[in-house]
């Protein structure tokens, strides 16, 4: 009898279900005696013993279903070694439930914080295999994460839809794109959506350069400008601050987000009408796009093979379109950032896109 636990942690996204389906189908196909334990609501379920036994029918019809059928939650890694409000040792509780449920392996789907905790559990002796989930595409060790392309599609559609109203009214529109501290999602959506200005965290912007790009468009008769702004975009001045001072400044900022601050500064300098659009969590919702369904199925099937071969302690990643095992200790705690000198940035600039630098 083989028993495998499934756990989805952190922010939800498209293709979590598709990926679990891939793992389950591979295991059901090749292992005669297999049980899958669905651990509910992320690491919280592993801590407090909340689970349900899964059946093959549970993985039927979920290829196109967004979200996660076993729920998720955010459990900050920095608090994992701290007791909960009742004094419970979280790590010990997770280890005890793993043993109590007689798991042979724990399959964890998640992003950066999730992988830190997964690596911690590996260090504590648990058999762990992870799968790269995040719309941010910022996981180290893999070229692509599932959920990213679906989010790109949604963010691009938002920019597409802004074009007609921006052109009709001759306004400056800012579309704020998710991505935390990295700019992959904004960069891809900005290029795909034909944004005129793209601001990402990896390239601190000069507001004068941004205004200059808008003025240049106005001078040649273009009445509107569209900016794709990452939620983590940062000015050159703020980039020079210490992390502590920057956090303090953000906390006291009167604007709800960086896009509104940039909008106010552009409005003051140009006198143009500014509108801010924030697609927000719609970028994490809905059905996965075909590309994500394919890579999720591939990643899931490969994870099933790794489990059968007892190849634990790895993240199932994609490199050069091939599925590869990546040691968890190489992944945990690292971010895959956009290289400001990369070819995609150079090519975007060749198209006339301004990055504010």
Give the integer Cα–Cα distance in Å for 156 and 279. 10
DSSP 71: -
Judge whether 208 counts as a catalytic residue: no
Q: Write down the catalytic residue from 12, 41, 136, 292.
A: 136
Which burial class, exposed, middle or buried, applies to 256 when counting CB atoms under 10 A from its CB (0-12, 13-18, 19+)?
A: exposed
Residue appearing with tokens 């801010």: 276
Q: What distance, in Å, lies between the first and last C-alpha atoms of the chain?
A: 59
Handedness of CA 318, 319, 320, 322 (dihedral sign): negative
Give the integer Cα–Cα distance in Å for 285 and 82. 32
Contacts 24+ apart (CB under 8 A), 213-221: 213/354, 213/356, 214/172, 214/266, 214/270, 214/272, 215/270, 218/270, 218/272
Q: What Å distances lie between residue 49 and 27, 40, 79, 231, 256, CA to CA? A: 24, 9, 19, 36, 38
Residue appearing with tokens 């199925």: 297
Which burial class, exposed, middle or buried, applies to 99 when counting CB atoms under 10 A from its CB (0-12, 13-18, 19+)?
A: exposed
- Asked if residues 148 and 23 have their Cβ atoms less than 8 Å apart, the reply is no
What is the three-class DSSP state of 287? coil
Q: Give φ, ψ of 349 to 5 degrees.
A: -65, -35
- Asked if residues 37 and 5 have their Cβ atoms less than 8 Å apart, the reply is yes
Instruction: Count how many residues are written for the chain.
Output: 357
Q: Which residues are catalytic?
A: 136
């Amino acid at each position: 009898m083989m028993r495998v636990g499934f756990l989805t942690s952190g922010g939800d996204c498209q293709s979590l279900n598709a990926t679990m389906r891939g793992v389950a189908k591979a295991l059901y196909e090749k292992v005669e005696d297999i049980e899958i334990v669905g651990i509910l609501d992320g690491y919280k379920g592993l801590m407090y013993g909340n689970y349900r036994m899964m059946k093959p029918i549970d993985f039927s019809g979920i290829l196109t279903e967004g979200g996660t059928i076993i729920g998720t939650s955010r459990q900050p890694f920095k608090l994992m070694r701290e007791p909960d409000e009742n004094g419970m040792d979280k790590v010990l509780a997770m280890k005890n439930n793993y043993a109590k449920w007689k798991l042979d392996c724990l399959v964890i789907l998640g992003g950066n914080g999730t992988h830190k905790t997964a690596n911690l559990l590996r260090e504590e002796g648990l058999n762990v295999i992870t799968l790269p989930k995040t719309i941010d595409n910022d996981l180290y060790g893999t070229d692509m994460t599932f959920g990213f392309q679906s989010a790109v599609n949604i963010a691009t559609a938002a920019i597409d839809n802004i074009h007609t109203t921006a052109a009709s009214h001759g306004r400056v529109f800012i579309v704020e794109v998710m991505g935390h501290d990295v700019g992959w999602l904004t960069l891809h959506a900005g290029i795909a959506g034909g944004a005129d200005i793209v601001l990402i965290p990896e390239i601190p912007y000069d507001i004068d350069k941004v205004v200059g790009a808008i003025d240049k468009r106005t001078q040649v008769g273009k009445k509107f400008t569209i900016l794709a702004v990452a939620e983590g975009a940062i000015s050159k001045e703020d980039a020079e601050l210490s992390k502590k001072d920057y956090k303090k400044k953000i906390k006291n900022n009167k604007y709800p987000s960086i896009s509104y601050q940039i909008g106010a500064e552009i409005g003051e300098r140009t006198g143009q009408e500014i509108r801010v659009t924030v697609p927000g969590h719609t970028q994490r919702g809905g059905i996965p796009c075909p590309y994500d369904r394919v890579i999720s199925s591939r990643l899931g099937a490969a994870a099933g093979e790794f489990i059968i071969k007892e190849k634990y302690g790895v993240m199932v990643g994609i490199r050069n379109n091939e599925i590869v095992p990546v040691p968890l200790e190489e992944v945990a705690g690292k971010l895959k950032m956009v290289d400001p000198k990369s070819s995609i940035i150079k090519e975007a600039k060749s198209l006339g896109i301004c990055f504010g630098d």
